[in-house]
Structure 1
Amino acid sequence: MNQHPHYILLPANGFFIAFSLLIAFLLNLLPWGQWVGVPDFVALTLVFWSIHQPRKVGIGIAFFMGLLMDVHDAALLGENALSYTLLSYFAIMIHRRVLWFPMGVQALHVFSLLLVAQMVGLIIRVFVGGAFPGWMLFLESLIAAALWPVVTWLLLAPQRRATNRDDTRPI
């Protein structure tokens, strides 16, 4: 069985966390958000930071990002906020467990978290009189879970670098 090396990571920089959430928000603002299957980048980034840095990114930041997305989507105020808050809460609940699994199993956990968040938003929309958008809506969670290894590699990259470079050090 081939194990991937476990890196000793540097502490996450708060500015980098804020920058990644800003980039995710800007990606959600792009007009491709109305296409079928385009993942919710804010939700994916929130799951990542809630799993990897639960003390820095928690329910409060998830609620704030949800309010921003509610305003952008012209959705019922609190719809995305509730979904993101629950998403962050469940991600924080399982964060220690998820990190021990290989990347594929982590992606399955992320898929289930994103699916629950999507279901909450869908139930709220249908409850207030919206129409069911169809089963293709859940393709977003599947694509976001498929992007999990790429997102993990990108967002952990700044933490993998050594503070002082030494070519003889194996870590």
Structure 2
Amino acid sequence: MPRPQYILQPVNPYFIVFSLAAAFLLNLLPWGKLAGVPDFVALVLLFWNIHQPRKVGMGVAFFLGLLMDVHNANLLGEHALAYTLLSYGAITIHRRVLWMSIGLQMFAVTPMLVGAQVVPFMIRLLMGASFPGWGYLISGFVEAILWPFASVLLLLPQRRPVDPDDTRPI
């Protein structure tokens, strides 16, 4: 039996801003330097770059990266570069990813999410920081595991019908 196709409503721009702000606030929580804590901004940014590439682009990614750099007191631009590259990759393949099922999407976005963790990792190593360990890169895989949950959660407001009708098939 084929899976049902949903006709999505247009996304509310305020919901995009709210979801990115909520992801940023989740990143502000005092997780410390725990291994495996996902970068929620990267996850939500990737989602909106794939689903709404004309509304959330590389400029938004760069700005959010600068905010994360200021918050983390890192070199200014390392997250900005990582998020911009993540955004570019997502916008490049967004049409192909949307045709995949959620499970296959998870595998398609994993290299981009891990790559978004590798960029700051390499920049820090090049600038002479000590090796943080390979556990630092686990976050990208955790984000990929969270991809189906984020997709369902962020698409919920678009799936509700404008005027519910019990006789309508879609």
Instruction: Tell me which amino acid in the other structure corresponds to 1:141.
Output: G
Aligned to 1:99: 98
Q: Secondary structure in 1 aligned to 2:31?
A: helix
Cα gap change, 1:33/1:95 in structure 2, threshold over 3 Å: closer, same or farther? farther
Matched, 1:68 2:67: yes
Instruction: Tell me which amino acid in the other structure corresponds to 1:147.
Output: L
CA offsets per residue over residues 81-130 of structure 1, 9 Å max, x none? 00000000000000000011111110111111011111111111111111
CA apart distance, 1:145: 0.6
CA apart distance, 1:3: 3.1
Q: Distance in 2 between matches of 1:91 and 1:64?
A: 17
Does 96-105 or 82-91 show the bigger shift? 96-105
CA RMSD of superposed structures (Å): 0.9
TM-score, length-scaled by structure 1: 0.96
Does 76-85 or 130-139 show the bigger shift? 130-139
Percent identity, aligned pairs only?
61
CA offsets per residue over residues 28-58 of structure 1, 9 Å max, x none? 0001252210100000000000000000000
Structure-to-structure mapping, 1:92-171, within 5 angstroms: 92-171=91-170
Aligned to 2:15: 16
Structure 1 residue runs without a partner (length 5+): none
Matched, 1:31 2:18: no
Cα gap change, 1:49/1:56 in structure 2, threshold over 3 Å: closer, same or farther? same
Instruction: Tell me which amino acid in the other structure corresponds to 1:134.
Output: G
TM-score, length-scaled by structure 2: 0.97
Instruction: Tell me which amino acid in the other structure corresponds to 2:110.
Output: F
Alignment coverage as a number of residue pairs = 170
